[in-house]
Amino acid sequence: MTQPAIQVQDLTKNYGPVVAVDRINFEVAPGELVGFLGNNGAGKSTTMRVLTTFLPASSGYARVNGFDVMYQSDDVRKHLGYLPESVPLYSEMRVEEYLQYRAKLKSVDRTTRTKRIDYCLDRCRIKGVRRRLLGTLSKGYRQRVGLADTLLADPKVLILDEPLSGLDPVQQEETLKAVKELGGQHTVLFSSHHLPDVEKVCDRVIIINRGRIKFDGKLSAIAASVPTVVVEARGTTAQLEPLLLGINGVLEIKPITAEAPAEGFAAFEVHAEPGLDVREKVAGRLHEKGHPIRRLEQRREKLEDIYMRSAMRGE
């Protein structure tokens, strides 16, 4: 089996009495592009800081490219690019000058340094601002200069803490394109609050809530999930439930209480056997028994549904 690029086992981080990360486990395969999601204070940055060796774990362990973050931190850092949430830059330096300086610090080979910087400027779509002073750049450009910096030494693993935060939609799109292109070649773990963007670029998402992992799955699996039928019809739960349950292929009925149905109506989620579309049968049965339908639709689970469920759990 290929060695995971990131491996986290029973990792816990306490800040005094605050348990920021609570015995989490996950692995990221080489080349995977994984979205790390969670509400404010869920534990994303803390996990990332442990992975990038900036913070020691309280217990458990983490490895990056096979190196232990506690005991082999130099090796971890050698093969890792980290973009913190707010990128610290020297405002009086020009973009290119800054990247030269950073490349030197990272021991990027002198003979290929200029070529490498050119490549990173191009990758992060900041060629046009290469001679600008960092202090005069907008947040989006500063963020992408930070991203170019993380790429300089061609690290195998990139950890990006909210690379899209505070950017306008155009800047978000540009940054997102740059991040997407990094997948495959690099292993990328990035945190974000922008679910539609995460859906656009990631292979997989991990959702953390109050320091615990609540969901870890491939986006392709979410897209392929069995759709649910939502039905709202005149009648009471007691009248409608047995009718729906009696339909061939229907496995489970769940009354919908989150969105209150209109007076005199009841609403349900109907879960049927995989591959079976029961909408016509539902319509036929309810019509036959004199229960007019107000709403009948097929709903496929989206990342947002999973996020809401995972991020609300335990609140």
Site for ligand ATP, rule CB under 6 A: 15, 18, 20, 38, 40-46
Residue 210 Cβ vs ligand ATP, minimum distance, rounded to whole Å: 8
Could you tell me the two tokens for 312? 């609300």
Enumerate the H helices of the chain as residue ranges.
44-51, 73-78, 95-105, 110-123, 139-151, 169-182, 195-201, 219-223, 237-245, 279-288, 303-312
Residue 12 Cβ vs ligand ATP, minimum distance, rounded to whole Å: 12
Residue 89 Cβ vs ligand ATP, minimum distance, rounded to whole Å: 20
CB closer to ligand ATP, 165 vs 185: 165
Detail the DSSP E strand segments found in 183-281: 187-192, 204-209, 212-218, 228-234, 250-255, 265-272
Cβ-based neighbours of 18, under 8 Å, separated by 6 or more = none
Give the separation between CA 96 and CA 91, rounded to whole angstroms. 12
CB closer to ligand ATP, 86 vs 114: 86
Residue 289 Cβ vs ligand ATP, minimum distance, rounded to whole Å: 49
Give the separation between CA 88 and CA 199, rounded to whole angstroms. 28
Residue 208 Cβ vs ligand ATP, minimum distance, rounded to whole Å: 7
